[in-house]
Amino acid sequence: MTRLDHRIFDLGGQSLHAVITGAGPPVVFCHGFPGLWYSWRKQLPVVAAAGFRAIAVDQRGYGRSDRPVEPALYDANFVMQDMLRLLDALGIERAVFVGHDFGAQQVCNLAVRHADRVAGVVIMSCPYDFDLAGRGGRGRDKCETGEGSFATGLRPSEAFAAVARQHFFHMHYFQAIGPAERELGAAPREFLQRLFWALSSKGELARYKDFPSEGTGYLDVLPPAPPLPWPWMSEADMDFYAEEFSRGGPDTAFIGGLNSYRVADRNWELGEPWADAHIEVPALFIAGADDIVLQMVGPAAIDSMRARIPDLRDVVLVPEAGHFVQMEQADATNAALTGFLRGLSAR
């Protein structure tokens, strides 16, 4: 069995929990929402066995890391600094970063704004340089962040509100402090199980368009999930997720994800100087072929990403996988990931 070393790092006032295994060139895994270090449980032993030092974090606001309440403390600068300070604490000059969902935004920003610390990036599920309106050209990763807008000239929060006038929209619902904390914090396991299933290759998330914003919560639009186990998720896995998210109590159970949505306008402003930036380090893109994010942005997102990442080594769309491709189809994900890593170390 692969030995996992759990460590807590004090990164200048922010405590960060990380899990480390293996030895060799460092690979840092950055999860999204809802995620934990545990979201990479099927990658860590494989990457370590391939000759790398695998490092998976609980991002700020998640799991056993500190959970600041103030939304401003989750902007792009803060979450990038967490990773840079983690490298410093471990005595690492450069690492390959692997990011999924919000973590994809994070590693893309690192590759553009701190390229000297990045040996390569693996972008998962959320294409670089594309917004949900189907327009490229901002030079920033937009997955679930609102960097860019749904209509020209709108700030992200304004764009979310415009969509919410037509039907329920979770990005708008999450902007207000309180309602989502109360709703989701009261039923963490139910929320996690419903969302993981809805975003899977066999799930369905389109119901939200049938609900008005007024009086609707997120659980209202998420269909009930089938009983566990699923092929890629056990009862024990779900128990672990529910326990870890509940550590801080109901008010902060999902604070990391919720506050990441609330800094969309701030991230939009912070990213403006890099609006036309390319990712110059070697990169790999992996996504589930059935990921709803790809369905929303359309095939032009891949073309835009190819244009903005000159050294994009491959685009891997994994069959029978939805948003959480690294869990739903771990073998295919691991094959693509280790192939990319070996290619970097061979240079």
CA–CA separation, 339 vs 14, rounded Å? 34
Per-residue pLDDT, 1: 53
Per-residue pLDDT, 312: 97
134: left (phi over 0), alpha (psi -120 to 50) or beta: left
Domain count, the chain: 1
Catalytic residue among 82, 101, 290, 291: 101
DSSP structure class, residue 85: H
Would you write out the chain's pLDDT as a tens digit for each of its 347 residues? 579 999 999 998 899 999 999 999 999 999 999 999 999 999 999 999 999 999 999 999 999 999 999 999 999 999 999 999 999 999 999 999 999 999 999 999 999 999 999 999 999 999 997 543 333 334 344 444 433 334 456 889 999 999 999 999 999 999 999 999 999 999 999 999 999 999 999 998 767 888 999 999 999 999 999 999 999 999 999 999 999 999 989 999 999 999 999 999 999 999 999 988 999 999 999 999 999 999 888 888 899 899 999 999 999 999 999 999 999 999 999 999 999 999 997 66
Active site residue 101: yes
Per-residue pLDDT, 62: 98
Active site residue 323: yes
Catalytic residue among 17, 31, 170, 323: 323
Number of residues that make up the chain:
347
Contact criterion met (CB below 8 Å) for 71 and 45: no
- Which pTM does this prediction carry? 0.94
Tokens of 123: 């972008």
Q: Is 122 helix (H, G, I), strand (E, B) or coil?
A: strand
Q: What is the CATH number of the domain that holds 29?
A: 3.40.50.1820
CA–CA separation, 63 vs 256, rounded Å? 9
Tokens of 156: 């992200």
DSSP assignment of 228-278 equals: SPBTTB-HHHHHHHHHHHTTT-GGGTTHHHHHHHHTHHHHHHHTGGGTTPP
Partner residues linked to 233 by β-bridges:
230
Per-residue pLDDT, 130: 56
CA–CA separation, 320 vs 336, rounded Å? 15
Residue 303's domain comprises 5-345
CA–CA separation, 112 vs 307, rounded Å? 15
CA–CA separation, 44 vs 232, rounded Å? 16
From residue 179, alpha-carbon distances to 69, 140, 147, 217, 264 in Å are 15, 30, 23, 8, 18
